[in-house]
Chain A
């Protein structure tokens, strides 16, 4: 394990639930992981696996009033974020921890200029001295928006999707945060733009040395930028692995399925591999392993008890009865 000094974020036994009329949905159920300083983590999993709720929990912005962080600890720079007041959290957001949302077109307010929306990041953290406009232009320059001096006064609807995402990334890194959470930053964009945005994030990471949590269901994205992968399934992390191990040697049957379902260029297959069955209903999750109903290697114990996290080697853990 890394020394305490290197660790930026440590999530311990986080449980976040949604209290609905139908019952309690355990969207994030006992999730623990760490992010070291300067590390790029990939958080993968299918829709509804709890990736976004995990990141919103870190921001303490779980949708109200249904959503609630039930228990656990989120330790950021040796302080538990769950013990912070709303005012203290507000000061951290956009300053020390930042986040980029999925759909750039709706994440910007169409009624306010791009410059105003970037400027807010400075203004509300007491960093708006006389040259606020220059600062906003600089942000646009950093994310390579062409002719930033005029674009700063434009409205989001005058920007393309890729340009909007650049603006959002720029806003995210404006105050040089220590942690940047990117929630599927490229899913709403087309492929060529995706590559540009990823390159941009890589460059920016190298410049600022921020830690990044990249949330995605696109394994290709992870391969390009991450050093470590955390696989989520049904509100839990099922495997934590260094990027190379994950691709060459996935241990959890679900990770294996994910890797197998990626089409390979030049390899002819009759039918693309797909994991059978549906993701679990988190209102009534399976009693044992969440993946057991869809797992081809399931044993008897799998349907009875949730497997413990087993350390296979340094930095590679898996929660599966196959190894326990």
Chain B
């Protein structure tokens, strides 16, 4: 197990290095010059030269790359061209807002999706199952931007119960501001978790070991949780761990609709402005989170299923 984890860790480091390299060269292979985008149209060639030199963009690409790697290892990812502040600082200032929304939405969808999915499987064709199927279909097919606007229209504009947009001023106000974005962000995850947990529970409940447990006289709650859900959880780990990561990274659409100051919006804006350092830090963050997520998933698999540990 230790060897296995070390291997995964090594692989994760290699993946991050690889991704960073690709991103570095991809951005610089484009035609657009960040200096040209940042400076006003009436800037002189001299201004242009100074700015280019300031950002280190005048040096040959391989040198730029080595400098970048050297600094990155020290935790310095360069300055944002737009904000003239360390790129990592710019990004991490906005990250908490995304985490706040993402974590809440993940737990909301996990609790709701798992309960509906599992109950649907246990009481097949019951009213929870019917409701769950409608919910799953809706969550999968209704686009978040439409749902967001409609919820806003109903609850904020017409009924006036909830704030239209923004992050609020802490405490209860923040909670009120979070309700609609969290619902929108959770739509698809709830649908997916409901469907997967329902189908993997149904598969598990059909299996011989479940029949055997009943033959032994094991009461239904134990059959459902200890025998069926434990087996179903393997599939759930596979989808839910990466899902959590993606939700943490914010959503451009939802952050834009609800003016939520998260990183999703920041990154899109930075990309259009050719603010490479910010985007690079963001991609490094994604790679880091996703590779760690897979390591977490592997550890969870090994905890649930001993077969993995013995391989």
A-to-B contact residues, CB < 8 Å? 59, 61, 63, 65, 90-95, 98-99, 101-103, 106-112, 117, 120-121, 124-125, 155, 157-158, 168, 171
Contacts and interface: CB of A to CB of B under 8 A. Distances in A.
B304 A111 contact: yes
Chain B at the A interface: mostly helix, strand, loop or mixed? helix
18 contacts: A59-B214, A59-B215, A65-B125, A93-B214, A94-B216, A94-B217, A101-B211, A106-B207, A106-B209, A107-B212, A109-B213, A110-B209, A111-B305, A111-B306, A120-B213, A121-B217, A124-B219, A157-B307
Contacts of B125: 65
Contact of A101 (B212, B218, B222, B305): B212
A117 B212 CA distance: 10
A98 B211 CA distance: 12
A107 B209 contact: yes
Interface in B208-236: 208-209, 211-219, 222, 226-227, 230-231
B70 interface: no
Nearest to A108: B209
Given A101-B208, A106-B209, A112 B214 contact: no
A262 B211 CA distance: 32
A252 to B, nearest CB: 31
The 10 closest A-B pairs by CB, nearest first: A94-B217, A94-B216, A93-B217, A109-B209, A107-B208, A106-B208, A107-B212, A99-B215, A121-B216, A155-B306
Contacts of B28: none
B231 A109 contact: yes
Contacts of A111: 230-231, 304-306
A108 B212 contact: yes
Contacts of A110: 209, 231, 305, 307
B10 to A, nearest CB: 28
B53 interface: no
A2 B297 CA distance: 62
A90 B216 CA distance: 8
Size category of the binding interface on chain B: 20 to 34
B59 interface: no
B124 interface: yes
Contacts of B215: 59, 61, 93-94, 98-99, 101
Nearest to A56: B211
Contacts of A157: 306-307, 310
Residue among A90, A109, A110, A168 with max Cβ neighbours from chain B (10 Å) = A109
A112 B212 CA distance: 13
A103 B208 contact: yes
Given A107-B208, A120-B222, 14 more contacts: A61-B211, A94-B216, A95-B217, A101-B211, A102-B208, A103-B208, A107-B211, A111-B231, A111-B306, A117-B216, A124-B217, A158-B310, A168-B212, A171-B216
Nearest to A93: B217
Interface in B66-105: none
Interface in B260-308: 304-307
A225 B215 CA distance: 23
B203 to A, nearest CB: 12
A8 to B, nearest CB: 18
Contact of B222 (A59, A61, A124): A124
A125 B217 contact: yes
B217 A155 contact: no
A61 B227 CA distance: 17
Contact of B217 (A91, A109, A112, A168): A91
B9 to A, nearest CB: 26
Contacts of B212: 101, 107-109, 168, 171
Contacts of B222: 120, 124
B209 A90 contact: no
A90 B217 contact: yes
Contact of B227 (A65, A90, A109, A171): A109
A155 B208 contact: no
Contacts of A121: 216-217
Contacts of B307: 110, 155, 157
Nearest to A89: B217
A155 B208 CA distance: 16
Nearest to B125: A65
A92 B217 contact: yes
